């Protein structure tokens, strides 16, 4: 029997740091990841893909800011929807092509997905989510002064703009996702963490400016669709202790107790590995399987021979 697998794909893996943000470069990266995802489908699993959008939504935001005197700027929730659309398009087409070429059954469909957040989330007073291009410390200071942006250092790779990243409360449209999965369809959903919306007391929805962390939305999605496995595919093969230091240590199978201890010791940077570990720990705590690995190793990691796995005990 195949498993129901939610695969969360990093926005930085769709566009690598320092790579030019051309459509061709992003499509090429997407093709590498969809090749490996097609093998997960081939192995008989039900697959739901979700993905980040940090670099992409940051670039769309910049286009809006640069062109604001020509075309009115759109709010960040609308830009999130734009990024879901074009990233989903690339993934859907390249995954369909991979299924066709390998003669694997199934359809692929992209859903524009709204994620409900709490309007009173304290994150709105404390922006933490890195988006867009990398800047030097000097450029970052200048942008803070000139544009009023919030800038923060991102895992030793340079400075980036940061925006509010509220906790995802509920993914919309999950019953439709389940119906599609049962109909041999790979579903791409909740891209960029989902389009941030808030609900009023009548349940009426309205967009709000934020970028929801895709690892935490992926966790909600995995919970709501009753997934067996939650896989986070990123640009490192494993989670490390003392990451980037001479004594860094690769993690393979980690128990919940160990994982929680490493979190307390501060091994995982906020906005990058931090939310991945938080999401993986929360999923594993429900007695299910959580995996963090590189794009290339998805099939091996599902078989237990690669990546970092968080286990209940």
Q: Is 253 exposed, middle or buried (0-12, 13-18, 19+ CB in 10 A)?
A: exposed
Q: For ligand ADP, which is the closer residue by CB, 51 or 288? A: 51
Please give the structure tokens belonging to residue 46.
């039900």
Among 8-16, 37-45, 194-202, 252-260, the segment contacting ligand ADP (CB under 6 A): 8-16
Please give the structure tokens belonging to residue 186.
């790979």
Told to judge if 12 belongs to the known catalytic residues of this protein, a careful annotator would answer yes
Catalytic one of 193, 214, 218, 297: 214
* 91 lines the binding site for ligand ADP (CB under 6 A): no
CB 137 to ligand ADP: min, Å: 18
Which residue has the CB atom at the shortest distance from ligand ADP?
Answer: 10
Told to judge if 97 belongs to the known catalytic residues of this protein, a careful annotator would answer no
Q: Where are the beta strands (DSSP E) in 104-148?
A: 107-110, 114-116, 129-135
| Cβ pair 188, 221 in contact under 8 A | no
* 269 lines the binding site for ligand ADP (CB under 6 A): yes
CB 21 to ligand ADP: min, Å: 14
Least Cα distance to 6 among 173, 219, 191, 213 occurs for: 219
Q: For ligand ADP, which is the closer residue by CB, 121 or 213? A: 213
Q: For ligand ADP, which is the closer residue by CB, 34 or 234? A: 234
* 58 lines the binding site for ligand ADP (CB under 6 A): no
* 37 lines the binding site for ligand ADP (CB under 6 A): no
Q: Would you tell me how many other CB atoms lie within 10 Å of the CB of residue 39? A: 17
Told to judge if 11 belongs to the known catalytic residues of this protein, a careful annotator would answer yes
* 155 lines the binding site for ligand ADP (CB under 6 A): yes
- The C-alpha atoms of residue 233 and residue 51 are separated, in whole angstroms, by 9
Site for ligand ADP in 199-258 (CB under 6 A): 234-236, 239-240, 243
Round to the nearest angstrom and report the end-to-end CA distance of the chain.
Answer: 24
- CB-based burial, 88-100: b 16+ in 10 Å, e otherwise: bebbbbbbbebbe
Catalytic (active-site) positions: 11-12, 129, 214, 276
Query: Which positions touch ligand ADP (CB under 6 A)?
Result: 10-13, 52, 155, 234-236, 239-240, 243, 267-269, 272-273
């Amino acid at each position: 029997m195949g498993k129901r697998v939610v695969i969360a794909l990093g926005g930085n893996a769709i566009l690598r740091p320092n790579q030019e943000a051309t459509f061709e470069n992003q499509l090429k990266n997407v093709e590498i990841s969809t090749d490996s995802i097609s093998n997960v489908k081939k192995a008989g699993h039900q697959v739901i893909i979700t993905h980040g959008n940090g670099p992409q939504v940051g670039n769309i935001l910049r286009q809006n800011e640069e062109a604001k005197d020509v075309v009115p700027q759109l709010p960040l929730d609308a830009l999130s929807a734009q990024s879901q659309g074009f990233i989903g398009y690339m993934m859907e087409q390249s995954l369909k092509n991979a299924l066709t070429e390998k003669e694997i059954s199934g359809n692929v469909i992209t859903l524009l997905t709204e994620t409900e957040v709490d309007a009173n989330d304290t994150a709105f007073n404390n922006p933490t989510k890195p988006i867009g291009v990398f800047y030097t410390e000097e450029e970052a200071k200048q942008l803070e002064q000139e544009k009023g942006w919030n800038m923060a250092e991102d895992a030793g790779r340079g400075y980036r703009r940061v925006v509010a990243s509220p906790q995802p409360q509920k993914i919309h449209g999950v019953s439709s996702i389940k119906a599609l999965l049962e109909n041999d369809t790979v579903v791409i959903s909740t891209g960029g963490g989902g389009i941030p919306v808030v609900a009023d007391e009548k349940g009426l929805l309205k967009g709000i400016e934020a970028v929801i962390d895709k690892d935490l939305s992926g966790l909600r999605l995995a919970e709501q669709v009753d997934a067996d496995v939650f896989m986070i595919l990123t640009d490192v093969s494993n989670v490390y202790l003392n990451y980037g230091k001479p004594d860094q240590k690769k993690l393979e199978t980690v128990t919940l107790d160990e994982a929680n201890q490493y979190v307390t010791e501060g091994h995982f940077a906020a906005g990058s590995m931090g939310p991945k570990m938080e999401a993986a720990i929360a999923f594993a705590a429900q007695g299910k399987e959580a995996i963090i690995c590189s794009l290339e190793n998805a099939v091996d990691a599902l078989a237990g021979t690669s990546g970092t796995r968080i286990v209940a005990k």
